[in-house]
Structure 1
Amino acid sequence: MTISVSSDYGYVILVGASAALYQFVLGGQVSSQRKPSGVLYPHMYATKAECEQDKKKLIFNCYQRAHQNYLENLPSFLFFLSAGGLEYPKVAAAAGTLWLLGRIKYSSNYQKGDASKRNSSGAAVHYLGLLSLLGLSAYTGVKQVANL
């Protein structure tokens, strides 16, 4: 089997690289919250009791959780982006950009300290991008298997 990609696949690579770089932004944000919150290494999170007593610890947990959630979702996103982009690079890049913008908004909402508001606007956007990529990937796979 030979896979060839069009020059438009560069858009897919740029979106994937941007998504990979954003994880470092989130990691830096978590690090910037450690000292002010008093949640020092090796602890990943403050306890519930600590958060109830100190809003800075709750905020830290929200930063940490936004980062962790991003890392949990990044592998499937990158797979769907890469696979769907083989056949439809511009559409995949657009859907990937939508996913990334939604994730940025989701993280920003999460970091405000009220976890219930994380889904207020970013979640729908990133899910729309992800479902689009899932569909592109599935269609690309079916076409490949069926040799259409």
Structure 2
Amino acid sequence: MATIELSPDYGFVVAVAIVSCILVFFFGSKVTSYRKIAQVPLPFLYADARECEEDHKKLIFNCYQRIHQNTLEGFTMYMIMLLLAGLEYPVASASLGGVWCLGRCFYYYGYSSGHPNSRLLGAFGHIGEFGLLGIAGKLAYDLIASRP
């Protein structure tokens, strides 16, 4: 049976994973609260274009919804890469996870302004994603290369 020894630095990875989950929860809570304000009934995910032109609150709701959905679209991959890469490179992985979290915050700030192109403020968060992917790839290579 294989065993994995975790460095105490892996705690940083766990902390970033927790912060990441809190961000996702926060984004979802904004959707829920603004759904009531904009009066977009369930089960509709978005208000349509005509509704948004007539009511700015509906546009803002759509922005909140898109922030949350976009975050969820890549969240599973991000978390897998964070947790795997952190096994061998915990400080680098936690740092890249922090970049992802910060990028998500800027993405949220820009998009929730009601000007969707302002979401690009958070584009630097992709550095975290691609960095984690690279580190996880390096871990895979190292494990395969160390086979007897």
Q: Same fold (TM over 0.5)?
A: yes
Hey, what does 2:133 align to over in structure 1?
134
Question: Is 1:22 paired with 2:23?
Answer: yes
Between the aligned partners of 1:20 and 1:81, the Cα distance in structure 2 is: 12
Deviation at 1:80, TM superposition (A): 0.9
Deviation at 1:3, TM superposition (A): 2.1
The CA RMSD over aligned residues, in Å, is 1.2
Amino acid at match of 1:111: S
Hey, what does 1:56 align to over in structure 2?
57
Hey, what does 1:39 align to over in structure 2?
40
Q: Give the 3-state SS of the residue equivalent to 1:6 in structure 2.
A: coil
Superposed, 1:76-91 pairs within 5 Å as 76-91=77-92
TM superposition outliers: structure 1 runs of 4+ over 3 Å = none
Deviation at 1:18, TM superposition (A): 1.0
- Aligned residues with identical type, % of pairs: 41
Amino acid at match of 2:58: K
Between the aligned partners of 2:25 and 2:95, the Cα distance in structure 1 is: 22
Hey, what does 1:73 align to over in structure 2?
74
Hey, what does 1:11 align to over in structure 2?
12
Deviation at 1:83, TM superposition (A): 1.1
Q: Give the 3-state SS of the residue equivalent to 2:46 in structure 1.
A: coil
Hey, what does 1:123 align to over in structure 2?
123
Between the aligned partners of 2:48 and 2:3, the Cα distance in structure 1 is: 52
The TM-score normalised by the length of structure 1 is 0.94
Deviation at 1:40, TM superposition (A): 1.9
What is the aligned length?
146
Q: Give the 3-state SS of the residue equivalent to 1:67 in structure 2.
A: helix
Between the aligned partners of 2:131 and 2:144, the Cα distance in structure 1 is: 20
Deviations 1:78-118 (A, max 9, x none): 01101110111011001100111101110121111111111
Amino acid at match of 2:37: P
Unpaired segments ≥5 residues, structure 2: none
The TM-score normalised by the length of structure 2 is 0.94
Q: Give the 3-state SS of the residue equivalent to 1:118 in structure 2.
A: helix
Unpaired segments ≥5 residues, structure 1: none
